[in-house]
Amino acid sequence: MDVVAATKPIIRVAALCGSIRKGSFNRSLLRSAIKLCDESINGMQIEYIDIAPLPMLNTDLEVQGTYPPVVEAFREKIREADSVLFASPEYNYSVTAPLKNAIDWASRPPNVWADKAAAIVSAGGGFGGGRSQYHLRQIGVYLDLHFINKPEFFLNLFQPPSKFDSEGNLVDVATKEKLREILLSLYTFTLRLQGK
C-alpha cells in the first residue's frame, strides 16, 4: 500500500462541502477523506470548514477593508491551508449557492484562494455531480486555484449497490480507494506547486 512517508512535509487541507444539509452524502465523502488520512496517509491533515454560517455576500458588510467576524475567520482558514478539497454536489447543472457564496467571500481582496492546489469530489445522480465540477474548475481559473486533472471522482448515488450505510458512512471499498487516490494526487500536486 502506497503511504506517504512520515518524513515528508505536512500539508493542511481545507475541506468544503457545497451542501449544508446535515445528511449530505457529499459531506460524508469529506468525513471519509478525513478518516482515510488518519488511517493511511501520513503528511496530510484535513480540516472540515463549515460554510453554513457565512452571510450572503454583500459588500455593504465590508467596513474599511474588514469583513464580518465569521467571514474573517473563514478567510483565515482558507489562507492558512496549503490546498483545498471541495465536495461539490450539482444543483441545476452548476455549483450550489452556498459554495459559490463561500468562494466569493474568500475571493474578496486579498484573494485567499490564489496559488493553492485543489481537488474535487462529488456524489449525485446521473453524472455524479460532474457538471458542478466543470463549473468549479472554470471559477478556479479566475481565482488562480490549481485543480488536479486526474484522477476524477464522480459518484452516482443511484447505481446499486449503495456505497453508504444507513448512517451515511462510505462503506464501498472500491470507492474508498478512488477517494484515497484523489488525496494522494492532491498531496503530490500541492508539494509540486510549493516547489518541495
Asked whether residue 8 carries a pLDDT value surpassing 80, the answer given is no
Please tell me the predicted confidence (pLDDT) of residue 5: 46
Supply φ then ψ for residue 113, to 5 degrees: -85, -20
Q: How far apart are CA 158 and CA 126, in angstroms?
A: 8
**Mean pLDDT lowest among 6-10, 29-33, 154-158, 178-182:** 6-10
pLDDT, tens digit (0-9, with 9 covering 90-100), for 67-118: 999 999 999 999 999 999 999 998 988 999 999 999 999 999 999 999 999 9
CATH number for the domain formed by residue range(s) 12-193? 3.40.50.360
Output the pLDDT for position 158. 81
Beta strands in the chain (DSSP E): 11-17, 44-48, 83-87, 117-124, 146-147, 154-156
Residue for cell digits 486555484?
145
pLDDT at 130 over 90: no
CA–CA gap between residue 128 and residue 50 (Å, rounded): 22
Angle between helices 69-80 and 97-107 (to 10 degrees): 80
Residue 144 CA to residue 75 CA, distance in Å, equals: 16
Q: Which pLDDT score is estimated for 83?
A: 98
Q: Which residue has the higher pLDDT, 166 or 4?
A: 166
Segments making up each domain of the chain, as ranges? 12-193
Q: What average pLDDT does range 185-192 have in this prediction?
A: 97
Burial class (CB in 10 A: 0-12, 13-18, 19+), 81: buried
